Amino acid sequence: MRRLVAFFAFAVALIPRSARADSAGDLEALLSESVVTTPSKTAQSASVAPATTSIVTADDLRRYGIRTLDEAINFLSLGMVTTEPQHAVEVGSRGVLFTTDYGNHVLLLVDGHSLNEPWDGTAYFERGAGIPIELVDHIEITLGPGSVLYGSQAMLGVINVVTKSAGDYGGVHLITEGELSAGADRSGSPSGLGGGYRLGAGVGKESTWLGLPVSGVLQIEYYRQKGAPFEYAPQSGNVDSVTGLPKDYGPRTAPGTWGGTVKDAYFTEAPAAYGRFRLGDFEVLARTGMYRRGTPYQDSIVAGFGDFDEPRSFERDRWINVEAQQRITLSKVTTLRSRLYGDLNEYHWENVSSGAEDCPEGATRGCRRSLTGTGRTLGTETNVTFDWLSNGRLTTLTGADVKMRDVRTWNDVIDGATGAPLDGNEATVRTDVAFAAYVEQAALPTSFLSLNAGLRADDDPRFGGKLSPRGAVGVTPWSGGQFKAIYSEAFRAPAVYELEYHDPADTVTAPNLRPETVRSVELSFEERFATQRFLFGVFRTWWNDMVLSAALSDAEVQSAIGAGQLAPGATEAYQYRNVATVDNYGYNASWEGSAFERRLSFGANFTEAYSRRNQGDGSPLEPLTVGPAAFGNARVAYDLGEKLPTLALAAQFQARRPADRAFDGGFSVSPHAPPALLLRGTVSGRVPGVRGLTYRLSAAYSFAAQGPYVVGPNQYAADESTRAALSPLTRISGFLGFEYVFGPR
């Protein structure tokens, strides 16, 4: 609570006098109102929307040197946070983060199109999002459960990236960007340099055809990064349980020892393209790309085994998304929106290991494993809005969504010495059709009261049926003030991977998994005056049926052997089960504003939460790992004028947090990541003398050297002397980028 008092005292002290006494304050307050489409699938003022929503604008992205969605979340948003494990980031909200979930508790939309793929519900928030940042008009970040209109995945929140129209992205755009980052030695001190670059080209144009307006925007880009080099302290003395010899971690480290400097295994390659084309009321969105990356260490997420500094170990995603949509006004009361969508997704994982114990029997010189999951989705959604009084005071939204999914998976293992297949199969995992229907009723009975209630019913062969309600009450006691009370529920459908994955050695399928669920109650108050906006909210959430890989009892193992699900001789085995619950509550606060004719802009967000997980195995309640219980950000920027640059400084803070193996690693000292403070300074503006050419120059420094992930083969303590090694963080980084715009705008 002291943090909260300090936050508000700081905020009030910094309110410029000009803002407090500004006679044009009411108009400025209206202009600072956000208009959001995510909470109710229709444009409405954020203050009356049935959810807590924050907006990140294109100006914010530019002036604070933001290049990816996760950076926008960390430096600019309220209530959400990501952690950086040197591969795909993990995202959490309001004190809840589920490590290893590949982002499948957050629904990620681009212009309303879901990017969570159908195999595992995965969504990426860094380069893997494949969203050219110059195309982004704004990002709507809606906190809390949102299944009432969106169905599965919308548990922690819904992020909707809204791209620019052709009118706002006119002309031809050429983009180039180069980056440098410092690696770290085993002590965490900066050491060695890595780099990357991005090249992009975009175009936006408006015209008419047969009397109809025609417009289109398209951007393609290519991003590549290698390094920086990180040094990992040797983890030695490891013996291969099959050969009895020191375990072989490949040619780049001594037998029995994992560690050294990673030079080649830390990389990213991400080409992407996104376009929107419109003819009259008919619009088509198309997105494609690839995201290939290498993780420089063994961990609990990507791989717990494999050779050290092996560039042939990687993950790769590829996708094609297409959507056609149309809005038709049927009458002054009725508006119909329909969309047709199709997605192709592929995930591919490869791992090279020279250790015999990591491979099937007989592969004494190692093996190469691969896993591929593909998903094809074809769906259509139609909704109808009834404005019963034709004045917006009593509206009903009702809709239905039906989609067909085909998900397949391949596992292959190849002998490291001969290249011969050792084990593997192809299986069509699932072809199914999911159906959902939803209704939302909104009412404005008086000028100071807004009511909203909604319900969605999902019928999904993966788990059966699920109802997701939401109710919200908004009260406006005075101009600029807004109280909200919201109750909402959400769920995550079991992933195909969780339902169907099995391994005769140690894993049985889980055909009876139920969806994970969350219920949330939140209260918030928002006050606007002139260009200032304050928000304070409290929340409580209850998470049930959370899926964990649980150990089978001896009797269950024997039963599974008898049923042919496990190989004879199996002694321990696991199955995904709905066993865990999470209890979470806390508060969040936000303050943002501007002064001096909007030249000075600033903002700060802070969240503190209590979260405890019950694993359902009789063990004591534990804090959630990896995600911080307290986190926030602050920013300030000043625009020096038309021909001068904008100077900006942004900071991100995460409190000390348990590492992923803090409670199950058996380490004598429970590993925790230290508090993290990341500062980023950015200078942006026009290049003098060259019309249409702009630049961004940015540098960042991390005061923390370690993140919340235990790295290397010692994921579990071998004895009392074993200390956990935590993932290193990039301490120093920077980039310089240029954008050149020419042609008719």
Which residues from 65-104 bind other proteins, rule CB under 8 A?
none
Among 171, 195, 504, 675, binds other proteins (CB under 8 A): 504
Does 370 participate in binding other proteins (rule CB under 8 A)?
no
Alpha carbon distance 584, 2 (integer Å): 20
Among 1, 2, 391, 571, binds other proteins (CB under 8 A): 391
Long-range contacts of 642-647 (CB under 8 A, 24+ apart): 643/686, 643/688, 644/685, 645/683, 645/684, 645/685, 646/63, 646/683, 646/684, 646/685, 647/681, 647/682, 647/683
Among 6, 12, 27, 420, binds other proteins (CB under 8 A): 27
Does 572 participate in binding other proteins (rule CB under 8 A)?
no
Does 326 participate in binding other proteins (rule CB under 8 A)?
yes
Does 411 participate in binding other proteins (rule CB under 8 A)?
yes
Bridge partners of 286, per DSSP, are 275, 322
Among 6, 9, 12, 330, binds other proteins (CB under 8 A): 330
- Binding part of the chain for other proteins, among 137-145, 620-628, 630-638, 699-707 by CB under 8 A, reads 137-145
Q: In which residue are the tokens 């056609």 written?
A: 324
Among 10, 168, 187, 417, binds other proteins (CB under 8 A): 168
Listed in sequence order, the residues at least 6 apart from 725 whose beta carbon sits closer than 8 Å to its beta carbon are 232, 233, 235, 710, 711, 712, 714
Q: How many residues bind other proteins, per CB under 8 A? A: 81
Among 90, 101, 134, 140, binds other proteins (CB under 8 A): 140
N-to-C CA span, the chain:
50
Does 509 participate in binding other proteins (rule CB under 8 A)?
yes
Among 105, 138, 466, 696, binds other proteins (CB under 8 A): 138
Considering beta carbons, is residue 387 or 622 the nearer one to other proteins?
A: 387
Considering beta carbons, is residue 409 or 584 the nearer one to other proteins?
A: 409
- Binding part of the chain for other proteins, among 36-44, 308-316, 555-563, 673-681 by CB under 8 A, reads 36-44
Return the structure tokens found at 313.
């170990």
| Spacing of C-alpha 384 from chain mean position | 30
Chain positions 702 to 741 lying near other proteins, rule: CB under 8 A, are none
Burial of 492 (0-12, 13-18, 19+ CB in 10 A): buried
- Binding part of the chain for other proteins, among 40-48, 299-307, 611-619, 690-698 by CB under 8 A, reads 40-48
Residue 660 neighbours by CB distance under 10 Å? 28
Listed in sequence order, the residues at least 6 apart from 72 whose beta carbon sits closer than 8 Å to its beta carbon are 56, 60, 61, 66, 139
Cis peptide before 228 (omega within 30 of 0): yes
**For 297, which DSSP code?**
S
Q: Is 342 helix (H, G, I), strand (E, B) or coil?
A: strand
Residue 708 has, within 13 A of its CA and on its CB side, a CA count of 29
Radius of gyration for the alpha carbons in the chain, expressed in angstroms and rounded: 26
Name the minimum Å distance from CB 125 to other proteins.
19
Chain positions 659 to 698 lying near other proteins, rule: CB under 8 A, are none
Considering beta carbons, is residue 39 or 627 the nearer one to other proteins?
A: 39
What is the helix (H) or strand (E) element at residue 101, kind and residue range?
none
Does 333 participate in binding other proteins (rule CB under 8 A)?
yes
Does 279 participate in binding other proteins (rule CB under 8 A)?
yes
Does 315 participate in binding other proteins (rule CB under 8 A)?
no
- Binding part of the chain for other proteins, among 25-33, 240-248, 487-495, 731-739 by CB under 8 A, reads 25-33
Considering beta carbons, is residue 382 or 549 the nearer one to other proteins?
A: 382
Does 398 participate in binding other proteins (rule CB under 8 A)?
no
Residue 162 has, within 13 A of its CA and on its CB side, a CA count of 18
Q: What are phi and psi of 339, to 5 degrees?
A: -145, 145
Cα dist. 417→2, 69, 144, 352, 369 in Å? Answer: 62, 42, 50, 12, 13
Among 5, 428, 642, 720, binds other proteins (CB under 8 A): 428
Alpha carbon distance 390, 334 (integer Å): 9
Does 16 participate in binding other proteins (rule CB under 8 A)?
no
- Binding part of the chain for other proteins, among 104-112, 375-383, 580-588, 730-738 by CB under 8 A, reads 375-383
- Binding part of the chain for other proteins, among 308-316, 323-331, 466-474, 617-625 by CB under 8 A, reads 323-331
Does 12 participate in binding other proteins (rule CB under 8 A)?
no
Name the minimum Å distance from CB 428 to other proteins.
5
Name the minimum Å distance from CB 388 to other proteins.
11
Name the minimum Å distance from CB 605 to other proteins.
17
